[in-house]
């Protein structure tokens, strides 16, 4: 039987560390993150085509988020190159965190904070400017941010992934706040917008927390963590890009407006009520092809394809 000689300087991985769970997990995480980065680029381009009415603060924030996501992708490429190329065959290095992993954690913390604050502003707008709910969401986004910064700073002083257990309290706190905040934002947007684009990102953050708590002897949690900020950003971009289709759905079809009294002559329709007779009228509009419909105390209707008024006895 042939024997395998381990070159001098090479150290075998412990039994509980296998390439499938270490380098394999890192590789798959980078591949998935690369695919999501492509989706981010497409979504950012689509947003740039339809953001004319957005404030410059939101436009600038989306631009900064794209730059942070590109930096995040660059750090992932460095991580893969460091372990798979620079240290090819040196499996002992798989136990040591490279600097780019910890710097990537800082970029992730900043990106996630900005995404959650933009989502909080969306909740503020859609909830009728509920300042207390918005302040609560903004405040809850701060602990995960500082948790990520502290984790990166202290992690640079650690010599192995096994020592990350010393930072368990920070990680658990950060992920707990993240999951709780994402659930609240998801529920709020589901109520106000009837969509669930943030739900999957919330579940993914919970999956990272579970993976870290139950699989500390492999790097599955790292692979999931690589993908998390890209899911958050794509959730935000998907929400912003869907606004036009939501408006079109809201303004399509027929609208029936009951009139409890005669409309003024300014609207172009007058109903006369006979003495001793109770009548009700109803204005029916087809706004499927309307370009401009304004409903105010003095009703103005322009560019409506069909208009009819009918009376019916009550």
- The CA–CA distances, whole Å, from 226 to 80, 85, 108 equal 12, 19, 9
Predicted confidence band of residue 246 (pLDDT cuts 50, 70, 90): low
Q: Does residue 16 lie in a domain region?
A: no
Q: Is residue 208 part of a domain?
A: yes
Q: Which of 205, 229, 247 is the last residue of a domain?
A: 247
User: 73-82, 102-111, 161-170: which range is least confident on average?
Assistant: 161-170
Q: Does one domain contain both 227 and 94?
A: yes
Same domain, yes or no: 87 and 170 = yes
10: in domain: no
CATH number at residue 228: 1.20.1070
Give the confidence band of 17 by pLDDT, cuts at 50, 70, 90: low
Q: Reply yes or no on whether the pLDDT at 290 is more than 80.
A: no
- 6 found inside a domain: no
**Do residue 135 and residue 224 come from a single domain?**
yes
Do 227 and 305 lie in one domain? The reply is: no
Flag whether 101 is in a domain. Answer: yes
The pLDDT > 90 percentage for the chain reads 23
Segment of 10-19, 70-79, 162-171 carrying the highest mean pLDDT? 70-79
Are 142 and 198 in a shared domain?
yes
Sign of CA dihedral 239, 245, 248, 254: negative
What is residue 207's predicted lDDT score, i.e. its pLDDT?
Answer: 83
Claim: this prediction has a pTM higher than 0.75? no
Higher-confidence residue of 196 and 88: namely: 88
Last residue of a domain, one of 247, 267, 297: 247
The pLDDT value given to residue 45: 93
143 and 223 in a single domain? The answer is yes
Mean pLDDT of the chain: 74
Q: Do residue 258 and residue 233 come from a single domain?
A: no
Please tell me the least confidently modeled range out of 34-43, 170-179, 284-293. 284-293
Same domain, 263 and 193: no
Q: Is the pLDDT of residue 59 over 80?
A: yes
Question: Cβ distance 84 to 23 under 8 Å?
Answer: yes
**Within a domain: 309:** yes
Which of the two residues, 197 and 272, has the higher pLDDT score?
197
Same-domain status, 70 and 137: yes
Looking at the fold, whether 282 and 217 belong to one and the same domain comes out as: no
Shared-domain flag, residues 149 and 268: no
Higher pLDDT, 270 or 233: 233
Q: Whole domain around residue 92: which residue ranges?
A: 23-247
For the residues 102-107, what does the mean pLDDT come to? Answer: 91
Quote the number of domains for the chain.
2
Question: Would you say residue 272 lies in a domain?
Answer: yes
For residue 129, CA distances in Å to 120, 241, 264 come to 11, 22, 34
């Amino acid at each position: 039987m042939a024997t395998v000689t381990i070159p001098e300087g090479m150290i075998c991985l412990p039994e509980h560390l296998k390439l499938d769970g270490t380098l394999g997990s890192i590789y798959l995480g980078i591949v998935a993150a690369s695919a999501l980065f492509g989706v981010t680029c497409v979504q950012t381009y689509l947003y740039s085509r339809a953001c004319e009415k957005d404030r410059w603060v939101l436009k600038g924030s989306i631009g900064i988020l794209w730059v942070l996501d590109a930096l995040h992708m660059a750090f992932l490429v460095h991580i893969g190159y460091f372990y798979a190329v620079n240290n090819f065959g040196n499996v002992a290095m798989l136990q040591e965190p490279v600097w780019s992993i910890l710097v990537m954690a800082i970029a992730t913390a900043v990106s996630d904070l900005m995404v959650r604050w933009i989502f909080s502003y969306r909740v503020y707008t859609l909830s009728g400017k509920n300042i207390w709910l918005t302040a609560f969401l903004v405040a809850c986004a701060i602990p995960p941010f500082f948790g990520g910064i502290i984790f990166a700073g202290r992690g640079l002083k650690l010599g192995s992934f096994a020592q990350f257990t010393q930072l368990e309290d920070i990680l658990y706190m950060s992920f707990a706040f993240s999951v709780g905040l994402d659930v609240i934002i998801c529920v709020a947007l589901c109520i106000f917008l009837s969509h669930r684009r943030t739900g999957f990102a919330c579940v993914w953050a919970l999956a990272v927390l579970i993976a870290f708590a139950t699989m500390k002897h492999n790097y599955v949690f790292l692979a999931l963590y690589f993908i998390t900020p890209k899911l958050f950003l794509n959730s935000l971009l998907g929400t912003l890009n869907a606004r036009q289709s939501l408006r079109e759905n809201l303004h399509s079809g027929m609208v029936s407006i009951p009139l409890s009294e005669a409309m003024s002559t300014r609207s172009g329709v007058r109903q006369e009520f006979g003495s001793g007779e109770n009548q009700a009228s109803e204005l029916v509009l087809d706004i499927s092809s309307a370009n401009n419909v304004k409903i105010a105390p003095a009703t103005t209707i322009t560019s409506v394809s069909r208009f009819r008024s009918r009376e019916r006895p009550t």
